[in-house]
Structure 1
Amino acid sequence: MEISENYLTNRVTGEIGQATAIYFPRSQADVVAIVQAVRKKQQKLITIGGQTGLSGATFPDDNQVLMSLEKMHQIINLDVETMTLTVEAGVTIAEISEFLAATPYFYAPDPGSKEASIGGNAATNAGGMRAVKYGVTRDNIRAMRVILADGRELKVGSINRKDSSGYDLKDIFIGSEGTLGVITELDLKIQPKPKFSRDILLGFESLTQLSPKVFEILASGLVPAALEFFERDSMAYSERALQLAFPDISGQAFLLMTLDGNAVEQLETELTYLASLSDASLILTDAQTRDAVWQLRGAIVSSVELESIQEPLDVVVPVNKIAPTIIALKQMAIDEGLSAIFFGHAGDGNIHANIIKNDLTDEAWAEKLERYLDKLYAYVAEVGGKPSAEHGIGLLKKTYFQKYIGTSELVAMKALKRAFDPENILNPGKIFDL
């Protein structure tokens, strides 16, 4: 176990936070000892992973103690009979992919940052580009080991495929952002790699033209592994940052899809159907072009960060509200004198928005952004949406989460927090206030 002094910068706001100390446990026993020591000293504890979060969920805003699980990065066991991969919480998505590369299996969730830890993914219920077909992190975890606020060890879930044995404690901890317990070890669901995969890019003149095609695709019975949307202005940031060119295809709004399966003839039939949905279509058979397009799509947020301070958002709305929501949010940004780009996961209603400061003064930026976010989250709630699809609530969305969640739901969540952590030791002040 290691300990050091630590300062941490909120990568979203740029605010500097200071922790009392940071611990680096190497085992579950170390985690238990740290939790018990923190409790005995009446301190507060924040568990951190890969530090790729976008909601301020691990930011030390009141001299809390930090505990980094980065040294708990062992891949423990691959059980092909139960299709389960057991890993420690500090293992990254990149390390999981690398380990499984030489096997016939893969771990399906594909969040934007491959350096994120699997424990952090579980804590926020991360989604990613393959969620349409394969589900989010929650759908791909069979069981977990969790350390409670009093140091007790708890195993939640199981490697059984079916389970109707009491409360589903596993799903309570997934998405809880470290406020209920410390996830130390996970049994992940793996599955056979599909034999064939194809990618297609469709171009449209506007999001208004693109939107009904999403419903048509989903209603047709096709289940794309990925179904992404973005506009040309979003791609411009990535093109500048990566020095890669977007393919020569007409349109201002685009759908990027991956189809996969074990029957190549079926994939070709599906591609033919998809190509008929747009006047501008490009089947990405060239590996270099395909890789470039996916790199450009994946680099939008980081590319904007290279040019300006931004506020990254990840709201979710019903799938039939994607286009009208983006149109409304764009107009709100224009009315407020703000620059904004929109993209996201078309198949599940997850809209990513980057609100960009550009050359605004700090004072003007703060005032305009606050007014804009008030309007944005009110609109999202009005159409039946939620403030976060995959980044979590943390500190940055806490006000809006508490404002628009139902009173009974918030009371129930607070009761859970008090039941698992009665002394409010673990990540206090995140998601909601007690």
Structure 2
Amino acid sequence: MQELYSIISDPQRIKTVGIEEKYVTDNLGRLQGTCDALVFPVSAEEVSGVMKWAYANAVQVTPRGAGTNLVGSTVPEHGGIVLDLSLMNEIVELDTDTLTVTVQPGVLLADLQAYVEARGLFYPPDPGEKQATIGGNISTNAGGMRAVKYGVTRDYVRGLTAVLPSGEVIHTGGKVVKDSSGLSLKHLLIGSEGTLGIITECVLKLIPKPAFVMGALVPFDSLKTGIDAVIRLIHENAGPTAIEFMERKVVALGEQFMGVTFPYPEASAYILLSFDGNSESEVRSNAERARQSVIQNGALDFLLLEDKATLDEVWKVRGALVRAVEAVSEQEPVDIVVPINKTADFIAYANEVEQESGVQLISFGHAGDGNVHLCVVRGERDAAAWQKDLKAVMTRIYGKSHELGGLTSGEHGIGLSKKPYFRKATDPAVIAAMKQIKDALDDRHILNTGKIF
């Protein structure tokens, strides 16, 4: 490992002793790995140099950003080098002519959004964890709340610079809108969880910032009624930016955690809507179409959130739900995605599992795209009982999601913790094809080995 000092110009950016535990785990901190060196590169050239050395010496490399991953994608199972890209955090260029911004992978989502919005522009992908890095968002194809209108991270990546496991630097895509120039290596890297290459620069699509934003909170007497109303709402072409669902029991935890009071506490479930657009009349017209639709389909009320402080407070509760649950008990986060018309069926099944198993399951998520977030709550179980009950519950809920035509992950990725469920639900021929791609780009299997498949 001493040879790394000839590659990294500043010896302070290499650590081989006293490495903090946070660098060998993920955001949950339950899966622990080991590493022999922690390296903080500041350029593609340094990343390339480290990878060339690692390739020549068959040393494992695990890339990481802010460490907010929830499924073990940043856990170094096989030792070697942890390559932390958090110092590569420059916004390289804002090009208003092409509506693109070029950034390094360590830029935080919150910082990018604030930077472009201050200049009248908008980066729509909006996963709940705003302190994640852009490189991490791309590596997991992060989705978030605005996916129902604007799409996911993949839809905003125009170009990538990446370092392959061999150390070779490649450039794919660019500032162009269209690209039919051969195989799309860019899209292969997106969502690959750092197993195929290390992203060192990103060209991202922007749009003009919406001029007017408002929200609405829609209470229901049951979650099924709310989800059924969402399906009908989508057909109304009211253009909501986000459609979130929450059960009352998780909202109550969010209220306690944030120290706020949620409107309409007597409801059993809520649908949270947001609308944006270039004019107030457009947004209000869409909100009125939505109001009429949900009232006709069982809503108890339609509460417009026009005051920005109230709107922000309600959305902060939604954004803090995972942390609110975690503050009460250890929990296993799940981000299953099912066809939107099967969302209510899946949640009903999860509630059945809760009743039969005695394991608390708290659900919320993105009603507009069928992405269900479940918190499987440990409660007072000892380690042995927790592992036994968790495995039984996870097997049942993943099995049901696949039966309904769903997929193992909507936006968190597979990492380590979801591998058994992903493998069980995925065609062996698909797994084999993925392994062939891995073999072709990483023939020595040194880059984030053991993740996904």
Task: Decide: shared fold, TM above 0.5.
Answer: yes
- Whether 2:268 is the aligned partner of 1:252: answer yes
1:275 aligned partner: 291
CA contact (8 A) 1:50 1:70 kept: yes
Please tell me the residue identity of whatever aligns with 2:100.
T
Instruction: State whether residues 236 and 289 of structure 2, in contact with CA within 8 Å, keep that contact through their aligned partners in structure 1.
Output: no
Tell me, yes or no, if structure 1 residue 68 matches structure 2 residue 68: no
Query: Residues of 1 paired with 2:90 and 2:289: CA distance?
Result: 44
Q: Displacement of 1:279 after TM fit?
A: 2.7
In structure 2, what is the Cα distance between the partners aligned to 1:9 and 1:72? 20
Mapped to 2, the partners of 1:224 and 1:154 lie a distance apart of: 38
Q: Distance in 1 between matches of 2:174 and 2:45?
A: 21
TM-score normalized with structure 2 length? 0.93
User: Which stretch shifts more, 213-222 or 116-125?
Assistant: 213-222
The answer to whether residue 342 in structure 2 is matched with residue 354 in structure 1 is: no
| Secondary structure at the counterpart of residue 18 of structure 1 | coil
Partner residue in 1 for 2:404 = 383
The aligned residue for residue 63 of structure 2 is 47
Number of the residue aligned with 1:365: 386
Contact 2:63 2:85 (8 Å CA) reproduced: yes
Which of residues 294, 305, 317 is equivalent to 2:315?
A: 294
Alignment partner, residue 316 of structure 1: 337
Q: Which amino acid aligns with 1:386?
A: L
Alignment of 1:218 onto 2:239: no
Could you tell me the percent identity over the aligned residues? 40
| Equivalent residues in 2 for 1:320-331, closer than 5 Å | 320-331=341-352
Q: Which residue of 2 aligns with 1:415?
A: 436
Distance 1:265 1:11, change over 3 A: closer
How far has the Cα of 1:241 moved from its partner?
A: 1.1
How much does 1:274 deviate? 2.1
In structure 2, distance between residues paired with 1:164 and 1:15: 41
Cα displacement string for residues 195-214 of structure 1 (whole angstroms, at most 9, x for unaligned residues)? 11110110100011112211
Match in the other structure for 2:4: none
- Structure 1 residue runs of 5 or longer lacking an equivalent are none
Question: How far apart in 2 are the matches of 1:19 and 1:333?
Answer: 39
Aligned-pair distance for 1:58? 0.7
Of residues 3, 18, 41, the one that matches 2:14 is 3
Amino acid at match of 1:292: E
Q: Cα RMSD over matched residues?
A: 1.2
Q: Residue 87 of structure 2: SS of its match in structure 1? A: coil
8 Å contact 1:109–1:134 — kept in the other structure?
yes
Do 1:251 and 1:280's aligned partners in 2 also have CA atoms closer than 8 Å?
A: no
Which residue type is aligned with residue 378 of structure 1? G
Matches within 5 A, 1:14-413: 14-248=30-264, 250-276=266-292, 277=294, 278-413=299-434
TM-superposed deviation, 1:44:
0.6
Q: CA deviation at 1:13?
A: 5.7
Distance of aligned partners of 1:332 and 1:243 in 2 relative to their CA distance in 1, 3 Å threshold:
same
Q: 1:16 aligns to what SS in structure 2?
A: coil
**Whole-Å Cα distance in 1 between the matches of residues 177 and 31 of structure 2?**
44
Runs of 5+ consecutive residues of structure 2 not aligned to the other structure: 1-7
Q: Which amino acid aligns with 2:323?
A: S
For residues 262 and 35 of structure 2, what CA distance do their matches in structure 1 show? 43
Asked if 1:425 corresponds to 2:411, the answer is: no
Moved more, 72-81 or 259-268: 259-268
1:322-350 Cα shifts (integer Å, max 9, x gaps): 00101101211221110110000011110
Asked if the contact 1:228/1:346 (under 8 Å) is kept, the reply is yes
Residue identity in the other structure for 1:72: M
Distance 1:11 1:97 in 2: 22
Quote how far apart the aligned CAs of 1:166 are: 1.3
In the TM superposition, residue 12 of structure 1 has moved relative to its aligned partner by 3.0
More displaced, 368-377 or 7-16?
Answer: 7-16
State the distance in 1 between where 2:197 and 2:444 align: 13
Q: Is the 8 A contact 1:393 1:430 kept in 2?
A: yes
Deviation of the 1:248 alpha carbon: 3.2
Distance 2:363 2:95 in 1: 41
* Number of positions where the alignment pairs a residue of Structure 1 with one of Structure 2: 432
Contact residue 38 and residue 83 of structure 2 kept, 8 A? yes
Secondary structure of 1:265's counterpart equals: helix
CA distance in 2, matches of 1:15, 1:322: 30
Query: What SS does the aligned partner of 2:36 have?
Result: strand
Cα distance in 2, alignment partners of residues 70 and 21 from structure 1: 16
Q: Is the 8 A contact 2:26 2:73 kept in 1?
A: no
Deviation at 1:106, TM superposition (A): 1.2
Measure the CA separation in 2 of the matches of 1:99 and 1:267: 25
SS at match of 2:400: helix
Per the TM alignment, residue 352 of structure 1 is displaced from its structure 2 partner at its CA by 0.3
Q: What CA distance in whole angstroms lies between the structure 2 residues aligned with 1:168 and 1:107?
A: 22
* Greater strand proportion: 1
- Give the C-alpha shift of residue 249 in structure 1: 5.3
1:318 is displaced (CA, Å) by 0.3
| Superposed displacement of residue 250, structure 1 | 4.2
Counterpart amino acid of residue 372 in structure 1: V
**8 Å contact from structure 2 (residues 127, 144) kept in 1:** yes
Of 68-77 and 325-334, the range deviating more from structure 2: 325-334
The residue identity in structure 2 corresponding to 1:295 is K
* CA displacement at 1:222 relative to structure 2: 2.1
- Matched-pair contact (CA < 8 Å) for 1:249–1:280: no
Per the TM alignment, residue 373 of structure 1 is displaced from its structure 2 partner at its CA by: 0.8
1:98 Cα deviation after fit:
2.2
- Asked if structure 1 preserves the Cα contact closer than 8 Å seen for 2:41 and 2:47, the reply is yes
